[in-house]
Amino acid sequence: MGALPAETRLGAIRLRVGDVERLREFYETTIGLRTLGVTDGVTSLGVDGEPLVELVADRDAPPRPPRSTGLFHLALLVPTRADLARTLRRVAGSGWPLAGASDHLVSEALYLADPEGSGIELYRDRPREQWPVGGDTVEMATLPLDLQDLLTEPGGEAAATAMPTGTALGHVHLQVADLEDAEAFWVGALGLDVTVRGYPGALFTSVGGYHHHVGLNTWAGVGAPRPPAGARGLVRFEVVLPDDAAVAEAAERLSRVGATEPVNGGVLAADRSGNAVLVRT
């Protein structure tokens, strides 16, 4: 088992954006989050007062090149299948196109991108007892999702205007230059467990037996470059630990593989592909 406590969860993900008002409207209308406030140029959106997506306004930020490291997608987890059906109706009603819809055996997922190209997954988990397991790893696949069947789910007959109570940042999927380097950071230093190795060019990691909290892939190409400094896209995401002692232990491990920075009682670190994580209580 990895070095992180089983209670570990993800907090908010922070994105740098060029047109913050357009992005705020999208995350409210299409995704269904609510604006919680604006502090020091950071617009926070979430559910029931809990921040999930933070937007850093920077009109001069260059676009992230398409074949570079960074965010593949952020994934918002809804509690039930009916919630996912109501979410699908809201997205369709907004006129925003889906990029895909998949059955991953452990979950059902909708895919789209925000107006500046950051990938988004909206998904629900199947009950854990239904997850297929092979040996000591979870089995996942990418099969077509039957959207018509989803829309017939009892309780999903009408669109929801907002994401439901209990929505969380379920996982973050990152593009990296090298999977071995990424594993050394996210597993060896941060302390996640490997859950899936079966996908070509990808690795999935988690805490507490979850199918994945952090996905990693080299689908932009092995050796893909980092985006320019200050580009649009991922700034950081949060890994939330239960106490200060766990944060201190994680900080010590992370310091062995690169520079770390104290931030608001937590620690900020980045893998060799430039993907940054804030570990905090």
Q: What tens digit of pLDDT does each residue of 69-98 get?
A: 999 999 999 999 999 999 999 999 999 999
pLDDT at res. 135: 79
Asked if the structure places residue 232 within a domain, the reply is yes
- Whether the full predicted model's pTM is greater than 0.85, yes or no, is yes
Count the domains in the chain.
1
> Which uninterrupted H or E stretch holds 36?
strand 34-39
Total Cβ atoms within 10 A of residue 168: 18
Parallel, antiparallel or unpaired: strands 202-206 and 261-263: unpaired
Mean pLDDT confidence for 1-7: 87
pLDDT at 134: 83
Domain that holds residue 170: 9-280
Share in percent of the chain as helix, strand, coil (round to 5): 20, 35, 45
Q: Compute the chain's Rg from CA coordinates.
A: 18
pLDDT digits (tens, 9 = 90+) for 171-189: 999 999 999 999 999 999 9
Nearest to 118 by CA among 64, 163, 162, 156: 64
Q: pLDDT confidence of 192, banded at 50, 70, 90?
A: very high
What pLDDT is stored for residue 58 in this prediction?
97
Neighbours of 140 (CB within 10 A): 23
8 Å CB contact between 73 and 92: no
In a domain, 2, yes or no: no
Average pLDDT over residues 187-212: 95
Band (198; pLDDT cuts 50, 70, 90): confident
Q: What is the mean pLDDT of the chain?
A: 97
- Residue 4 lies inside a defined structural domain of this protein: no
Beta carbons of 122 and 31 less than 8 angstroms apart: yes
Residue 186 lies in a domain: yes
| CATH code at position 225 | 3.10.180.10
Residue 53: which pLDDT band, with cuts at 50, 70 and 90?
Answer: very high
Is pLDDT at 43 greater than 90 in this prediction? yes
Q: How far apart are CA 114 and CA 33, in angstroms?
A: 13
